[in-house]
Structure 1
């Protein structure tokens, strides 16, 4: 740079004299740049040598690129070193190339010459990827995953550490409540039990930082309601209906039953249903306890837990039918009073007659494989009502409630037949009194 030292004016001639100022000394570039790990957690040390104290600028960039991703500075009074947080050096910054190594440039002043550190990589792990999820019948969840560090572009650089990846798992139960499950571990699987709705997350850690999979596994509860008939008749149309939620899923729904409160549950029927509603035919299995189960379902990383309805008792009554073989007989003729029982159990029915005021017992009738036959005669003409009472019966290990048949009528007209004696298997009935 030059400065104006004198101005002479002679006869209109203007003469300007310029004298050059002395050149300023240029600071040499720093030397011996080193990288090492600090004794403080998650810190690295950058150190250098310089001929004389000077302010320095430290810049982070990738080898072969002029783009500066971050800078730090020191004053003249500070030592020739600086500690940097690993997270600020990590190559996870947006725009960085995964396959280019990093370097730190240390310059003398803001625009002085610079020197470069050894190349190094500072890659965080890849986000964990779920390999499998298995839900046991006990409710325990086993989750396996994998993660890795990107390819080391600078093997054996000064900051390389031979440490395994560690993982921290936890869950979010809503309202951003991030709850850890245990501590950090090198294991790549986790078994835990948590029946409530939650979102599982897993962080992968190395010396340069961490990466997270926040939607690793999402779980949702299932609610099931069932309307079970309290009373049903064997082989008569009856249904169990109900709802399940979430309703937008198509679900496999299972109707289960057990014969006593201490016996095992067994499957009665099952089917796929949609729109949150289901319906099962019912009424042929005897008196028992029932419930409806919506098994757990998976869709990718989304689990909808199993749901079970409340247990309800249902009584099934025998289906019975009584009849006379002959619609009309003469006095002292024998008529057959038949009875059918469903299911086709072996039991003893009781034939009853209406005397005009109450039902009275005529006699027992054996029922074999669901069929029984009683015999009566009436010495007087007239019409008399009959019915059968069939007691509660076990069939196939299941109890069926007692039942009365329909009322059926014996129509007697005057006749000349010979009486049927009790020794012939007849129940002697005199008709209404």
Structure 2
């Protein structure tokens, strides 16, 4: 019975002690402000009766960080919390209570006013434009997000945001290349790809990088046909490979190979020997870096494909060129046959004709006939071709089956050779 009574008394005494501890006076006048001029810590102060304290951070519609600090009785009623303890872009309060790490919290929580930890606004839409041997970097800054705690105790008034340019090439780390600026553009002299450019921004709650521009180098290949029929479309196919700079955290930057879609390519040609290279077609790469450009075949000309200097948000692409190759133009036979049809009677006449392109062709062509006995083509006569047309009319004296063709020789057009050709077989049946 005594043991039961003793146990009951112990429980009552323990409960009374816990109730007394839980009813310790709540700290008052919890305030927050910046510690020193560097704004590297948030100083929290409060009032109580020289008691031990427990300090925590509470999220307001934000996740509460796991920060806890205990101060023993007799220490000043203030503590500097490093800004790194506060997650960026949140809303928080600092809570102070009486308590120890062994005994727990023994009072209600007293809280500071709510404040935000909005980080700096990243610059966006950065682009690069060539300026001589250098590059003009431009960027824009979006509006700051809505401040849900206006005039909170940690707001910094009349703050000017500065943008610090950093740059790296393959094998280097990102390094500052100039003083911070309030402008939205920066001229960098003597800069050619490959490189990566960024802007760093910082405020009291942290630093961020934005406004990135990749300076890309390229290489381009082209499969250019060695021959093509005049006035028909020829297809030039190839591939563009891009080299871009990638910078892992705390490491030197490296180059990586990519074959993106959307890279512009231009087909160039030289109309006459020694003339300036001029555009003959344009296109863009598809997935895998492949492209195809078709061009109407004109006179014999060399062709090459270039990747022009191009800029868009986030990147600038340097120029490159494929090897130039000559496409030899071949005369195209548009029509060839017997006027009025291939069936004729003895005593009538037959007219063998052909029309070719280019229509400006003036030359002498050779009419040939297949000799079945000799098993070879034999000469019939030379006929003049004017404006791409020729014909020959002759009387039909013997019945039989005959086969003719025109032999069109090489010629010169626009200062280069135009390859000749042979018409298809032209049959003639005489009865």
Bucket of the pairwise TM-score, normalised by the shorter protein: 0.5 to 0.7
Extract unaligned runs of 5+ from structure 2.
Answer: 1-19, 242-257, 340-350, 369-380, 394-404, 426-431
Q: Distance in 1 between matches of 2:296 and 2:39?
A: 70
**Deviation at residue 281 of structure 1 after TM alignment:** 5.4
Higher helix share: 2
The answer on whether the counterparts of 2:308 and 2:320 sit within 8 Å (CA) in structure 1 is yes
Residue deviations 1:384-415 (CA, integer Å, cap 9, x gap): xx998866533xx5744364878x9xxxxxxx
Residue deviations 1:226-250 (CA, integer Å, cap 9, x gap): 2112344535785434345667858
Alignment of 1:28-427 (within 5 A): 35-40=33-38, 42-47=40-45, 56-61=53-58, 69-74=66-71, 81-90=78-87, 92=89, 98=91, 102-105=93-96, 107=98, 119-125=113-119, 128=122, 130=124, 132=125, 142-146=138-142, 148-155=144-151, 157=153, 160-168=156-164, 179-180=174-175, 182=177, 184-187=180-183, 195-196=193-194, 204-211=201-208, 224-235=220-231, 239-243=235-239, 249=261, 255-259=267-271, 263-268=276-281, 284-292=297-305, 309-318=322-331, 342-345=357-360, 368-371=386-389, 392-394=411-413, 399-401=416-418, 403=420
Q: Distance in 1 between matches of 2:137 and 2:174?
A: 17
Residue deviations 1:371-391 (CA, integer Å, cap 9, x gap): 57999xxxxxxxxxx998866
Q: Distance in 1 between matches of 2:276 and 2:25?
A: 92
Partner secondary structure for residue 146 of structure 1: coil
Scaled by the length of structure 1, the TM-score of the pair is 0.53
Figure out how many residues of one structure are paired with residues of the other and give that number: 353
Scaled by the length of structure 2, the TM-score of the pair is 0.53
Report the aligned-residue RMSD: 6.4
Structure (1 or 2) with the larger CA radius of gyration: 1
Extract unaligned runs of 5+ from structure 1.
Answer: 1-22, 326-335, 354-361, 376-385, 409-433
Q: Distance in 1 between matches of 2:223 and 2:281?
A: 16
Partner secondary structure for residue 87 of structure 1: helix
Between 1 and 2, higher relative CO (CA 8 Å, sep ≥ 6) is seen in 2
The answer on whether the counterparts of 2:193 and 2:216 sit within 8 Å (CA) in structure 1 is no
Q: After the TM superposition, which of the residue ranges 314-323 and 143-152 deviates more from structure 2?
A: 314-323
